[in-house]
């Protein structure tokens, strides 16, 4: 552009001189450029300006263009995690060498004290309190009470089928009699009709949720079905409701021993022995718990104490305890029968 302006200034200075003929050489005037050279210079300047402009447009177009798009990388496909394997179910604790700590309930007849039956050699002690209280005597209810007592007598004789039949008659005529439903459940349980027994105990507890014998017998049913945790919960509830009854505590200790919680079973029985000194079921079960723990010294002490307190009232259990003591090289003490 500066060359073009210089050429225009020179042309203004020579404005007074006649222009030379077109395309004529003026070699006679030094310092004056030829017209052809001037046009070449203008062409070069124009081409350079065009090139600079084109370069600027190109650069501006690159800056204005959006950046090159990048393909987003999809996250890797992951398969669903496999579920963790279920933990192995622990096996049941080994059966103790002493008699198995299963228990059974009893029913007290109305109007007279409960009778104690000698235990068979294969059956352990039966804690008291599985049925406490008696049906309330009302006018016009004598036939019901008579039938109720007859059902209790059949249960005591070991005739569970006859007892169940009579208890069914009582519940049909007096459906609100809690003791009759409890006795029916016990008779059915002894026949191993567990579902029907469960329905009878549930009916008793629906009528009286704080009825301790019903709670104890329902817990015994759970033990017979292998539902030890549920049985322990029922025994614990019964123990809280009846602090003066040993049966709930004895059965709670039995359930905890079956759960493998021998230390808690021991504590429960020691507390029961302080509350109920000389109680046969407490002493016998305490011996079985120490036996399972491998504590022969304390087990033999509890067994000897049981023999002294029993004195012939539990001949079956007494013989089994003596055999256990002899297997340890301990001579059972001679006990006078009551």
Start-end of CATH 1.25.40.10 domains in the chain: 98-110+125-259
* pLDDT greater at residue 16 or residue 237: 237
129 — pLDDT class (breaks 50, 70, 90): very low
Q: Identify whether the C-beta of residue 324 lies closer than 8 Å to the C-beta of residue 306.
A: no
Distances (CA, A) of 160 to 2, 106, 154, 155, 189: 132, 12, 7, 5, 9
Contacts of 219 (CB under 8 A, 6+ apart): 230, 231, 232, 233, 234, 235, 238, 251, 255
Indicate the class that CATH gives domain 98-110+125-259.
Answer: mainly alpha
Contacts of 222 (CB under 8 A, 6+ apart): 228, 230, 231, 234
- CB atoms inside a 10 Å sphere around CB 100: 14
Indicate the class that CATH gives domain 264-338.
Answer: mainly alpha
Tell me how far apart the alpha carbons of residues 243 and 223 are, in angstroms, rounded to a whole number: 22
Asked whether residue 306 carries a pLDDT value surpassing 50, the answer given is yes
Tell me how far apart the alpha carbons of residues 290 and 263 are, in angstroms, rounded to a whole number: 10
Q: Identify whether the C-beta of residue 303 lies closer than 8 Å to the C-beta of residue 324.
A: yes
Tell me how far apart the alpha carbons of residues 40 and 14 are, in angstroms, rounded to a whole number: 21
What the block records as the tokens of 337 is: 């029968």
Q: What would the pLDDT profile of 182-237 be if each residue is shown by its tens digit?
A: 999 999 999 999 999 999 999 999 999 999 999 999 999 999 999 999 999 999 99
Classify residue 264 as exposed, middle or buried by CB count within 10 Å of its CB (0-12, 13-18, 19+): middle
46 — pLDDT class (breaks 50, 70, 90): low
Tell me how far apart the alpha carbons of residues 248 and 254 are, in angstroms, rounded to a whole number: 10
Task: Give the CA diameter of the chain.
Answer: 170
Tell me how far apart the alpha carbons of residues 288 and 116 are, in angstroms, rounded to a whole number: 22
143 — pLDDT class (breaks 50, 70, 90): confident
Q: Identify whether the C-beta of residue 262 lies closer than 8 Å to the C-beta of residue 292.
A: yes
pLDDT at 334: 75
């Amino acid at each position: 552009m500066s060359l073009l302006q210089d050429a225009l200034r020179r042309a203004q200075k020579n404005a007074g001189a006649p222009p030379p003929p077109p395309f004529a050489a003026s070699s006679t005037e030094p310092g004056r450029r030829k017209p052809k050279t001037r046009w070449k210079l203008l062409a070069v300047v124009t081409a350079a300006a065009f090139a600079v402009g084109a370069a600027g447009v190109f650069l501006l177009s690159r800056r204005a263009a959006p950046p090159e798009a990048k393909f987003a990388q999809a996250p890797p496909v992951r398969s669903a995690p496999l579920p963790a394997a279920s933990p192995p179910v622990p096996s049941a604790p080994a059966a103790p060498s002493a008699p198995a700590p299963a228990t059974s309930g009893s029913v007290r007849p109305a109007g007279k004290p409960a009778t104690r039956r000698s235990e068979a050699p294969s059956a352990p002690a039966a804690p008291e309190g599985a049925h406490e209280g008696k049906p309330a005597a009302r006018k016009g209810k004598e036939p019901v009470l008579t039938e109720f007592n007859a059902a209790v007598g059949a249960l005591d004789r070991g005739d569970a089928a006859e007892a169940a039949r009579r208890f069914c008659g009582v519940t049909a005529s007096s459906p609100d009699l809690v003791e009759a439903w409890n006795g029916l459940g016990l008779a059915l349980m002894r026949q191993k009709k567990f579902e029907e027994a469960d329905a009878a105990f549930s009916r008793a507890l629906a009528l009286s949720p704080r009825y301790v014998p019903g709670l104890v017998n329902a817990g015994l049913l759970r033990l017979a079905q292998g539902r030890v945790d549920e049985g322990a919960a029922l025994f614990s509830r019964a123990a809280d409701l009846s602090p003066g009854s040993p049966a709930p505590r004895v059965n709670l200790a039995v359930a905890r021993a079956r759960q493998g919680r021998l230390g808690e079973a021991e504590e429960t029985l020691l507390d029961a022995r302080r509350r109920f000194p000389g109680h046969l079921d407490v002493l016998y079960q305490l011996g079985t718990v120490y036996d399972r723990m491998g504590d022969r010294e304390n087990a033999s002490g509890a067994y000897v104490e049981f023999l002294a307190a029993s004195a012939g009232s539990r001949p079956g259990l007494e013989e089994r305890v003596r055999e256990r003591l002899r297997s340890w090289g301990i001579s059972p003490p001679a006990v006078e029968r009551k």
